[in-house]
């Protein structure tokens, strides 16, 4: 039996599905955060050179990974919307941007707090830090462009182009520490494995999963509002119990 995936790309079906999924994602995100931070602070040992300060990694690395992945997901949705003219894809892209921007900000912020005690500087203009800052500006530019155009369809198309063009920046962030001399160290998580002690690694992967689930929950919650806003004149919205009361 074939599943009709296009059924789920209809805003009415997706709205209901998202509503059912959000609590599950939210609860498991909260639980994983608690477990990850417990392991990170009480089980994982201190680092041989950075002492306690390295524990910033359990939020810094997940936030950085999420900020990059969410950008690619946003650009993919934007491209789908542009190619297939599906209503939902464009709405998803719009819903992802604020969360991606927040993760980019958290990545820069926690990075600065980590850099000060370890490197001796809050900020340096090296390729890794600068390209991550550009990522934050791309998110902000996408949101500003989208909200500056009144007609939602035209706003979708214009901002989709920005999102797609900006995705060139993501591989630059990832490979910057390889391609150029940077103060930022190389990647801890490589395609070949990680360079981390087991408990540290567990804590980081658990908080990474928690951040993923959190991002999914909050993006789904946001897209539900966007769906309602854009489809408010349709019959299925009028029939929703939360609208009729």
Q: Which of residues 78-107 bind other proteins (CB under 8 A)?
A: 79, 82-84, 98-99, 102, 105-106
Nearer to other proteins, 6 or 84 (CB): 84
Q: Does residue number 21 form part of the binding site for other proteins (CB under 8 A)?
A: no
Using CB under 8 A as the binding rule, the residues of this chain from 37 to 56 that contact other proteins are 37, 41, 45-56
Distance CA 182, CA 176 (A): 8
One of 27, 121, 144, 154 touching other proteins (CB under 8 A): 121
When the beta carbons of 9 and 188 are compared against other proteins, the nearer one is 188
Tell me: does residue 197 bind other proteins (CB under 8 A).
Answer: yes
- For residue 160, CA distances in Å to 19, 104, 145 come to 26, 19, 10
Work out whether 146 is an interface residue with other proteins (CB under 8 A). no
234 CB contacts (<8 Å, ≥6 apart)? 12
Q: Rounded to the nearest whole angstrom, what is the least distance from the CB of residue 148 to other proteins in the complex?
A: 19
Task: 8-11: list long-range contacts, CB under 8 Å, 24+ apart.
Answer: 9/86, 9/88, 9/89, 10/88, 11/87, 11/88, 11/91, 11/227, 11/230, 11/231
Is residue 200 a contact residue for other proteins (CB under 8 A)? yes
């Amino acid at each position: 039996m074939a599943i009709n995936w296009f059924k789920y790309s209809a805003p009415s079906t997706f709205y209901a599905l998202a509503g059912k999924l959000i609590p599950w994602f939210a609860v498991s995100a909260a639980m994983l955060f608690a477990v990850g931070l417990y392991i990170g602070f009480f089980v994982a040992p201190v680092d041989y050179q950075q002492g306690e300060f390295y524990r910033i990694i359990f939020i810094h690395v997940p936030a950085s990974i999420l900020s990059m992945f969410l950008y690619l997901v946003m650009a993919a949705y934007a491209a789908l919307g542009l190619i297939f003219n599906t209503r939902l894809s464009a709405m998803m892209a719009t819903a992802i941007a604020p969360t991606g921007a927040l993760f980019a900000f958290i990545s820069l912020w926690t990075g600065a707090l980590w850099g000060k005690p370890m490197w001796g500087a809050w900020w340096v203009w090296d390729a890794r830090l600068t390209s991550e800052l550009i990522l934050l500006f791309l998110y902000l530019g996408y949101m500003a462009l989208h909200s500056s155009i009144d007609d939602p369809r035209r706003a979708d198309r214009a901002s989709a182009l920005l999102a797609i063009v900006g995705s060139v920046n993501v591989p630059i962030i990832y490979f910057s520490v390889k391609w150029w001399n940077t103060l930022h160290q190389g990647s801890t998580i490589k395609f070949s494995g990680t360079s981390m002690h087991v408990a540290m690694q567990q804590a980081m992967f658990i908080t990474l999963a928690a951040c993923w689930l959190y991002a999914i929950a909050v993006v789904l919650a946001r897209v539900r509002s966007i769906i309602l806003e854009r489809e408010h004149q349709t019959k299925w919205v009028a029939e929703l119990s939360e609208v009729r009361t």
